[in-house]
Structure 1
Amino acid sequence: MSRAIVFAYHNVGVRCLKALLGRGVDVALVVTHQDNPEEHIWFESVAQVALEHGIPFISPDDPNAPEVVERVRAARADFLFSFYYRHMLKAPLLEAVARGAYNMHGSLLPQYRGRVPINWAIIHGETETGATLHQMNVKPDNGPIVDQMAVPILPDDSADEVFAKVTVAAEMVLWRSLPGLMAGSAPHTQQDLSLGGYFGGRKPEDGRIDAHAPAERLHNFVRALTRPFPGAFADTGAGRLLLWKTLRAGRAAPAARAELRSADGKLWLHCADGGRLAVLEAELDGQPLNSDNFAARVASGALAL
């Protein structure tokens, strides 16, 4: 039986931890995160899975602290796995197991290395992404690939819908890769890093809308940042506008900058390139905004972003 140490968080962490257990891997220790009280926790708990299965778990502020490294080393594990764990793991940890450290990343590496790859892929209008299992080294997301699986990004998919697909792909990739890893026969294919790029993390302030962007880009931006994420926003003369859901809806006259209007019982975003988006869900100054209350809240008849 193979023994593993698991660093994990989020839904991918939950499903991949369960896949290890389903394959009969002896999980000696789970390292996870304390939930941040300021963060909207919309995902499942790795700690709860560990508790249910009687697996020891810890949530250190610094996973690379000497005492954590020593505990991992003392477990004499074959493998270390990282499944959506949020901190970089340094060389002493990666070298504390006998047969290698492996990470599950939410993109088709070498594309979208780094943070929040699903959100970045949607922002850039990609039509597919996926999950990749790769060997870890001290540089993020650039070790040899063991296996990967693609999933489609449909034109109106939101980030949480794509994340659900990637979670299933991650489980399937790990499940089918584990026999080869344990037998020592799994492929390890070096990445060509020139075929992809590295992307950093995103903060709520990064959701500010570019009022001069074309309609397609604005639609992608909204669906990449919609709930459970902080949302795409613009500070207007009537307060902060949040756009939660849009659909592409043909063309209209180009505008100097994006403008929100009401017509035919709907809200419409007229974009700088002449594209038009139907706005299906929005908030203004913390309250729902729709075609029924638009005139009362936007006296000018149009709200410039």
Structure 2
Amino acid sequence: MTDSQPQRRPRAVVFAYHNVGVRCLKVLLAGGVDVALVVTHQDSESENIWFDSVISVCDAEGIPYITPDDAKSPTLLAVVRAARPDLMFSFYYRHMLPAELLEVAPAYNMHGSLLPAFRGRAPVNWAVLHGAHATGATLHEMTVKPDAGAIVARMEVPILPDDTAFEVFGKVTVAAEQALWHVLPALLAGTAPRLHNDLSQGGYFGGRKPEDGRIDWNQPAQTVYNLHRAVAPPYPGAFTDIGAVRYVLQRARLYKPNNKHNYNIAAASLRPGLTVVDNCIFGVCGDGRMLAISALTADGEPITAQQLHTRLAAAASGQ
């Protein structure tokens, strides 16, 4: 009797960053995948790094990693080819992979929405901004056209009325981990499903910039509230400028009158924008409804209702 040869583990090159990158990389390792190389990013000093580190996972697990600036560089292509992967994965890697890289091995991307909805950049933020009631994570085949390949797995999560994008992103991270975990055995066996990704539905969305958080108080309150939820900290935040001062909403809720407080009558006589009523900060919107603001900063520093009242009074009098 001869000893059987040990079965070779499937080998992968993984492009990964952010929390989804960390969790999905760990799923591959737990699923027996030989991760030969990780391609990731160095953290930017200009960015608020509130998420987990893929590099830390690589260091802990002894996985080789590189941080190229250009996904289209011939050097990166040569390194990936040399790794001889059976599969490639992209988990929140920030660069588009060119056709030459995608030809190295079958490649799969984890996208933070229920494709085909919210294709493109910042899908969680866009879903919250548009008032979606659900989103999720989708693993799909990678093509040169972004988020257009056949769907391999999806996992849905709810978006509750007061959820911020940060809270929803936490759910989407778990959904991505679960979606990959459940489909990984079939994916490695070559029996994973291939569902149609109907690009006539949904749409593409671009990246978001801090300036996109500027509030138009003439909009309905629900629209303004959705903007706040979509960019609330640790994202840059929804903001309004009064004179040379920038006020950023840190915490707010859509105000709902009750028996104890009913300020909507007062709002009808107030101009849209920040105001103070009974030592409470509100944002009056174009439809007469308001946001109750429980935390506000002025040029980066916390400001109280009394301080804001004094500033608003001075601005109104032209001082």
Distance 1:157 1:255, change over 3 A: farther
Partner of 1:35: 43
For residues 66-120 of structure 1, give each alpha carbon's deviation from its aligned partner in whole angstroms, at most 9, with x where no partner exists.
Answer: 11111111211110000000000011111112xx100000000000000000000
- Specify every segment of 5 or more residues in structure 1 that has no aligned partner in the other structure, as ranges: none
For residues 145-180 of structure 1, give each alpha carbon's deviation from its aligned partner in whole angstroms, at most 9, with x where no partner exists.
Answer: 001011111111111111100000000000111101
Partner of 2:113: 107
- Where 2:59 maps in the other structure, the secondary structure is helix
**8 Å CA contact 1:255, 1:270 repeated in 2:** no
Richer in strand (by share): 1
1:291 matched to 2:305? The reply is: yes
Distance 1:25 1:255, change over 3 A: farther
1:163 matched to 2:177? The reply is: no
- What TM-score, normalized to structure 1? 0.95
1:19-98 aligned within 5 A: 19-97=27-105
Partner of 1:240: 246
Query: Aligned partners of 2:13 and 2:269: how far apart in 1?
Result: 56
**8 Å CA contact 1:110, 1:197 repeated in 2:** yes
1:279 matched to 2:287? The reply is: no
Residue identity (%): 57
Structure 2 residue identity aligned to 1:43: F
Correspondence for 1:14 among 16, 22, 42: 22
- What TM-score, normalized to structure 2? 0.91
Q: CA RMSD in A?
A: 1.6
Query: Aligned partners of 1:27 and 1:37: how far apart in 2?
Result: 28
**8 Å CA contact 1:103, 1:135 repeated in 2:** yes
Partner of 1:203: 209
Structure 1 residue identity aligned to 2:210: P
Give the Å deviation of 1:300: 5.2
Give the Å deviation of 1:51: 1.1
**8 Å CA contact 2:126, 2:230 repeated in 1:** yes
Query: Aligned partners of 1:42 and 1:286: how far apart in 2?
Result: 18
Distance 1:290 1:301, change over 3 A: farther
Structure 2 residue identity aligned to 1:264: D
Structure 1 residue ranges (4+ consecutive) displaced by more than 6 angstroms after TM superposition: none
Query: Aligned partners of 1:12 and 1:156: how far apart in 2?
Result: 23
**8 Å CA contact 1:255, 1:272 repeated in 2:** no
Give the Å deviation of 1:286: 2.9
**8 Å CA contact 2:270, 2:284 repeated in 1:** no
Give the Å deviation of 1:254: 4.2
Structure 1 residue identity aligned to 2:33: V
Partner of 2:275: 261
Query: Aligned partners of 1:31 and 1:273: how far apart in 2?
Result: 49
- Specify every segment of 5 or more residues in structure 2 that has no aligned partner in the other structure, as ranges: 1-8, 257-263
1:145 matched to 2:151? The reply is: yes
Partner of 2:185: 179
- Figure out how many residues of one structure are paired with residues of the other and give that number: 301
Query: Aligned partners of 1:74 and 1:269: how far apart in 2?
Result: 57
Which segment drifts farther, 233-242 or 253-262?
A: 253-262
Structure 1 residue identity aligned to 2:52: E
